[in-house]
Amino acid sequence: MKLVSTPRIEFLRSLTTEILHNYGRGRQIVAVGGNESSGRTAFADDLAAVFDEREHPVFRASLRYFQRSRAAQDAFGPPSPERHYRHAYDYPTLRRVLIDPFRMGVATGFVTAQWDPDRDTWIEPTWLTSPVDAVLIIDGEFINRRELHGLWAYSIRIDSEPENEADRLYLEEANPRSVVSALIDNSNPLLPRRLLLDSC
């Protein structure tokens, strides 16, 4: 479906063209990172809509739905920024049910959500399959941390100042600005713009 042209959509079309030029064949994963107030989820949703406009198969997921249960998080000690950063998310399950099967053969099923953090319960899995050429867009607050960054063909950071101590810890330890493919200023969501990447 043709989207209404706006400066935001035109920006996303340009970004999509870049991604498809470099990663248009095979199953590719695009990561969109940023803190909760950065607008990263809406940005990832709109980017997926532009891929859909191009009639390129696209799937959406969010790290929000790959968190550990509250009981599992409590096993790592009382709530703290350190605990949230290091133990809130279930990265092994993310890889087992989504990342690894998505990258495998056409008949391999994967799920895009496994835990409801609001209800603190499992999500009944909906198993999906993908054509040979497809993009998975996944967003999350710590998505360019060192142990995950190598999973993404293309990574985006919606840039903003740290909004809490967990976010500050992530920025200091992972330095996502230095490793992403694109750094985006989304402070005006109607007019996002590309920022120069850090050179060191």
Domain with 16 in it: what CATH number?
3.40.50.300
In a domain, 131, yes or no: yes
Q: How confident is the model at residue 200 (pLDDT cuts 50, 70, 90)?
A: very low
The whole-angstrom separation of Cα 16 and Cα 21 is 8
In a domain, 2, yes or no: no
In a domain, 1, yes or no: no
What's the structural domain count of the chain? 1
Question: What confidence score (pLDDT) does residue 198 get?
Answer: 57
In a domain, 95, yes or no: yes
The three state secondary structure string of the chain is CCCCCCHHHHHHHHHHHHHHHHHCCCEEEEEEECCCCCCHHHHHHHHHHHHHHCCCCEEEEEHHHHECCHHHHHCCCCCCHHHHHHHCECHHHHHHHHHHHHHCCCCCCECCCCEECCCCEECCCCCECCCCCEEEEEEECCCCCHHHHCCCCEEEEEECCCCCHHHHHHHHHHCHHHCCCEEEECCCCCCCEEECCCCC
For 128-154, how does the pLDDT look when each residue is reduced to its tens digit (9 = 90+)?
999 999 999 999 999 999 999 899 999
Q: What are phi and psi of 187, to 5 degrees?
A: -60, -30
In a domain, 87, yes or no: yes
Question: What confidence score (pLDDT) does residue 196 get?
Answer: 86
Boundaries of domain holding 169: 7-195
In a domain, 66, yes or no: yes
In a domain, 200, yes or no: no
Give pTM, 2 decimals. Answer: 0.95
In a domain, 25, yes or no: yes
Question: What confidence score (pLDDT) does residue 124 get?
Answer: 95
For 12-39, how does the pLDDT look when each residue is reduced to its tens digit (9 = 90+)?
999 999 999 999 999 999 999 999 899 9
For 70-126, how does the pLDDT look when each residue is reduced to its tens digit (9 = 90+)?
999 999 999 999 999 999 999 999 999 999 999 986 678 999 999 999 999 999 999
For 165-176, how does the pLDDT look when each residue is reduced to its tens digit (9 = 90+)?
999 999 999 999
